[in-house]
Amino acid sequence: MNDDLFDDFDETQPHVTYYTDGEGRWLKRVWADQCRETILFRDRCQGVAGHSGDHWCFQLDGSYHYKPHEDDPKRKEVGCGTIPPGHTGYRTPLEMSRYRHLEFYEDLEVTDAAELERLQRGEFAANESIDAPCTEEQIEMLRKLGRLDSDERRERRERSRSLKYQPKDLSRKSTTVDIESRFDKDVDRFSNLETGQSATIDAPLAMQLITEAAVRLTPQINRVLDIGCGAGNNTLKLKEIYGKTFASDLLDLSGPMLERAKERVADAGIPRVELWQSDFRDADLPSESYDVILAAAVLHHLRDDADWQAAFEKLWSLLKPGGSVWITDLVVQETVPIHELMWSLYGEYLEGQGGSEYRKKVFDYIEREDSARPVTYQLDLLRRVGFAHVELLHKNSCFAAFGAWKE
């Protein structure tokens, strides 16, 4: 152990012993406390503290004593017993070592790049030490015991990392001012569902689904927030489905879009309208005030993980208890090959709408403006920030419709 750090040793932290082959490979042994359970009044369980399953203690004759674990909900037996070699329920010490019995440690191969760099520099914490170099024979034995990944498993893990879709450089994305300027020029197009959403696959279906779902899950709607409202299409659809009026808060970066949305919403019989010309992240919206929040083709402008987390937390905080949020948006996939497949299908759809030039135009502004995330990422995030129920309504290629309900 590093003597300089001995005085700072923290007994609450497990001791870790590192081993290296001197060629860049490192193993670590994380030591654990022995289980304190006794068997037959004298034998101590040979498992680690906190293990699951029965308590075990091997004897010199090869048999072992056992005692059902007190936390096992499926256990039917009480008391203790002995299982000799040859019995149908017998497990060898080698088998039991896979369940962290007999040895009070766990062996792992170090794969984290930052940890490897630290070890190569010879930097060890107070609860860490380095022991004799490990040999290939030791590594192979640890693999047989099931404590280390095989070469095949490690290769799969490395391939898994390479398959994961990663957001591109966010620093080069358009600013909110750039995005606002583009939408200021497109008011007329976005005032018509058939032309305004032509770049979105299944836009009419997605709009129908989120508004019907909102009404089914939130039967009493008094106030609605439409984020990135554009010319008001989603609020108008919700009014049509709900059949009654409600107060409408319209939020968008574009002033001209807001004015058109206000006009159209008022003409549809919604007299109480409040406009918010703002980035959703910055808008001082009232907490727990909305029965329904709609967010169509807007959240893909969020950037890093912290941005997404804060935005989804804000969605949750703005809803009344019993309220719901409904989202339709561009999404990416979790793995690169599937992302490329879906992007290819989307490209074919765009060419069918307006030819190769239209495909290039849409792809270019997506590259500049958007930083979408997988729908799975967003569903998990909705649960993480507190939503009690999460629903995926529809997904086709690079577009999805989904929502969540606040308890």
Q: What's the gap between Cα 263 and its chain centre?
A: 39
pLDDT for position 188 = 63
Domains and CATH numbers, the chain: 3-163 (no CATH), 170-405 (3.40.50.150)
pLDDT for position 88 = 82
Distance from the first to the final alpha carbon of the chain = 52
The CA–CA distances, whole Å, from 256 to 35, 75, 93, 284 equal: 69, 68, 75, 21
Residue burial 300-313, b: 16+ Cβ < 10 Å; e: rest: bbbeeeeebeebbe
pLDDT for position 98 = 57
pLDDT for position 13 = 64
pLDDT for position 292 = 98
pLDDT for position 36 = 80
Are β-strands 64-67 and 128-130 bridged in parallel, bridged antiparallel, or unpaired? unpaired
Contact between residue 78 and residue 68 where contact means Cβ atoms under 8 Å apart? yes
pLDDT-flagged residues of the chain (< 70): 1-13, 71-79, 94, 96-105, 132-134, 139, 142-151, 153-154, 184-197
Q: What's the gap between Cα 341 and its chain centre?
A: 22
The one-character DSSP state at 45 is P
Q: How many whole angstroms separate alpha carbon 12 and alpha carbon 228?
A: 50
| Burial of residue 245 (number of CB atoms within 10 Å: 0-12, 13-18, 19+) | middle
Q: How many whole angstroms separate alpha carbon 128 and alpha carbon 125?
A: 5
Q: How many whole angstroms separate alpha carbon 250 and alpha carbon 258?
A: 7
Residue burial 40-65, b: 16+ Cβ < 10 Å; e: rest: eeebebbbbeebebbbbbbeeeebbb
